[in-house]
């Protein structure tokens, strides 16, 4: 049973996706009210990677404090925020980026998204001009 630290030795890491702000708060405050939070806290006890993929916005100061507490305890806080340097064409590209980054954190090789390459041109300057009416540095 995953609720016991003696049972999770066969697992290398845990990902909670999506992680609601309620679940984040329970973990950050060490409240073991359900199997999910008890298991997450067991991963932290054993110093195994716990990735919390935060789904909600906007974020309040209390949410930030809970993220800080969870991070100090050993969690990796991963907002489900897509990048746009890879020029996504559809929703699948956006999802693949987020999933690919999570797999990277787990050391699982993948080709779900295009990694940053300084040699390739980006649309950053174009986006700045589009949004702010001027070219960004």
Position 131 scores a pLDDT of 66
2 inside domain: no
In a domain, 74, yes or no: yes
Name the percent of the chain in helix, strand, coil, to the closest 5.
40, 10, 45
In a domain, 1, yes or no: no
Is position 60 within any domain?
A: yes
Q: Contact 73/46 with Cβ under 8 angstroms?
A: no
d(CA 52, CA 105): 11
Q: Would 3 be classed as within a structural domain?
A: no
For residue 49, is it within any domain?
A: yes
How many domains does the chain divide into? 1
Domain range for residue 26? 8-132
**Number of other residues whose CB lies within 10 A of the CB of residue 98:** 19
Cβ atoms of residues 60 and 86 within 8 Å: no
pLDDT in tens, 54-74: 999 999 999 999 999 999 999
User: Coil, strand or helix: which one is 104?
Assistant: helix
CA distances from 12 to 8, 64, 97, 112 (A): 8, 27, 22, 22
Indicate the pTM of the whole model.
0.81
The answer to whether residue 137 sits within a structural domain is no
What CATH number is associated with residue 114?
3.40.50.1950
**Two structure tokens written together for 94:** 């956006």
Q: What is the pLDDT of residues 75-121, one digit of tens each?
A: 999 999 988 888 899 999 999 999 999 999 999 999 999 887 654 44
């Amino acid at each position: 049973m995953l609720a016991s630290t003696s049972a999770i030795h066969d697992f290398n890491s845990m990902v909670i996706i999506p992680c609601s702000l309620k679940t984040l708060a329970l973990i950050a405050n060490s409240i073991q009210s359900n199997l999910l939070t008890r298991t997450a806290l067991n991963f932290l006890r054993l110093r195994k990677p716990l990735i919390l993929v935060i789904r909600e916005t906007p974020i309040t100061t209390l949410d930030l404090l809970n993220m800080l507490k969870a991070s100090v305890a050993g969690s990796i806080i991963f907002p489900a925020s897509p990048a746009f340097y890879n020029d996504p064409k559809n929703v699948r590209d956006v999802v693949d980026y987020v999933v690919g980054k999570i797999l990277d954190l787990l050391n699982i090789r993948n080709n779900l998204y295009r990694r940053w390459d300084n040699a390739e041109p980006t649309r950053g300057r174009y986006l700045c001009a589009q949004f702010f009416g001027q070219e960004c540095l």
